[in-house]
């Protein structure tokens, strides 16, 4: 959840008109906006952070660790009223909630295919007409001169088909998965002592559960669950090789050790009630063993 603003004018393009390095290294300041204990963003903080120097606002549609949803329609309205470009990072939301650029006037919107069961290694960036966008990779006319290089047709076809299927099944996603997610949370929170839900109870994706197990290190519990064939995580996949605590939970609850003691459970269209109950049984057993 970052707001980028320029501290001085820096050359983002090289001599060929291609994009230069990353914004921070190019001399841009990055302002990070806080969230409350439920992981929600205060729109007043966003409005206060935008100045005459602001270049672009980049905010998620849904957080990838807690599933908390941001009001992207209001965010887009604020940015447009202040004449600031808005990038909506919709990776986690794709295939789970409606994404319609006609309703959310974002200037840029990014997706990645594996979040909705397409092959890994491909994504999409929507660029609103007339929004500034220098070529990401120069050297060819592909992608309307925005990214040189031969496209991977099999990956593109796979992503397109997966998007088609995700759209078809979108109305059933919430209806089917929310009860399963709620059952998982309710059973764990009621049967395992010293547990706490992370993220707003209602304003989040239907398939994501993030729970703190106070007094238990995330990695210890993950190892035991893995031995029982249960895949979970202690943060986002982007930081899978890092031993740092979850920066998301740390931002929500900085005064506790929750960022090192949380587990994220994710469900999809293939998840069954039997699997939910199996996970609950394993969590109950493993937490007792770790605390014993």
* pLDDT bracket for residue 143 (50, 70, 90): confident
In this prediction, residue 23 carries a pLDDT of: 56
Cβ distance 244 to 152 under 8 Å? no
Closest C-alpha among 96, 46, 97, 41 to residue 70? 41
Out of 120, 139, 159, pick the residue that ends a domain. Answer: 159
Active site residue 231: no
The whole-number pLDDT of residue 264 equals: 96
Mean pLDDT for the chain overall: 87
- Residue 195, in any domain of the structure: yes
- At residue 243 the predicted structure's pLDDT band, cuts being 50, 70 and 90, is low
Chain segment 178-222, per-residue pLDDT in tens: 999 999 999 999 999 999 999 999 999 999 999 999 999 999 999
Residue 182 to residue 99: CA distance in whole angstroms: 24
State the total domains in the chain.
2
Q: Which of 79, 88, 138, 238 is catalytic?
A: 238
Quick: pLDDT tens for 244-287.
788 899 999 998 888 899 999 999 989 999 999 999 999 999 99
Local structure of residue 284 (DSSP, 8 states): H
Q: Identify whether residues 149 and 190 lie together within a single domain.
A: no
pLDDT at 3: 42
Instruction: List pLDDT tens digits, range 32-81.
Output: 999 999 999 999 999 999 999 999 999 999 999 999 999 999 999 999 99
- Among 132, 159, 186, the domain boundary falls at 159
182: exposed, middle or buried (Cβ count in 10 Å: 0-12, 13-18, 19+): middle
The model's confidence at residue 139, banded by pLDDT at 50, 70 and 90, is confident
In this prediction the pTM is: 0.85
Domain housing 22? 2-159
**112 within a domain of the structure (yes/no):** yes
Kindly report the CATH number assigned to the domain that includes residue 24.
Answer: 3.40.640.10
Check pLDDT > 60 for residue 7.
no
State the Cα–Cα distance between residues 84 and 143, nearest whole angstrom: 25
């Amino acid at each position: 959840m970052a707001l980028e603003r320029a501290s001085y004018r820096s050359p983002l393009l090289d001599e060929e008109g291609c994009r230069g390095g990353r914004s921070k290294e190019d001399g841009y300041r990055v302002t990070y906006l806080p969230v409350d204990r439920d992981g929600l963003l205060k729109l007043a903080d966003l409005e206060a952070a935008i100045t005459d120097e602001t270049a672009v606002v980049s905010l998620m549609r849904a957080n990838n660790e807690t599933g908390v949803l941001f009001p992207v329609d209001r965010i887009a309205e604020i940015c447009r009223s202040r004449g600031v470009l808005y990038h909506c990072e919709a990776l986690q939301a794709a295939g789970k909630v409606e994404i319609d650029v006609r309703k959310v006037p974002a200037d840029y919107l990014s997706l990645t295919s594996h979040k909705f069961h397409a092959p890994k290694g491909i994504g999409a960036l929507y660029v609103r007409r007339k929004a500034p966008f220098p070529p990401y990779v120069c050297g060819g006319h592909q992608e309307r001169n925005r990214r040189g290089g031969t496209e991977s047709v099999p990956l593109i076809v796979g992503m397109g088909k997966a998007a088609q299927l995700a759209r078809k099944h979108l109305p059933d996603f919430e209806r089917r998965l929310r009860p399963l997610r709620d059952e998982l949370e309710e059973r764990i929170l009621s049967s395992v002592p010293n547990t706490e839900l992370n993220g707003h109870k209602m304003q989040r994706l239907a398939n994501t559960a993030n729970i703190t197990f106070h007094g238990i290190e995330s990695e210890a519990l993950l190892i035991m669950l893995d031995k029982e064939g249960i895949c979970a995580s202690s943060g986002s996949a982007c930081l899978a090789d890092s031993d740092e605590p979850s920066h998301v939970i740390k931002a929500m609850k900085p005064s506790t050790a929750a960022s090192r003691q949380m587990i994220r459970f994710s469900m999809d269209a293939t998840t069954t009630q039997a699997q939910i109950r199996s996970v609950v049984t394993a969590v109950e057993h493993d937490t007792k063993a770790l605390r014993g």
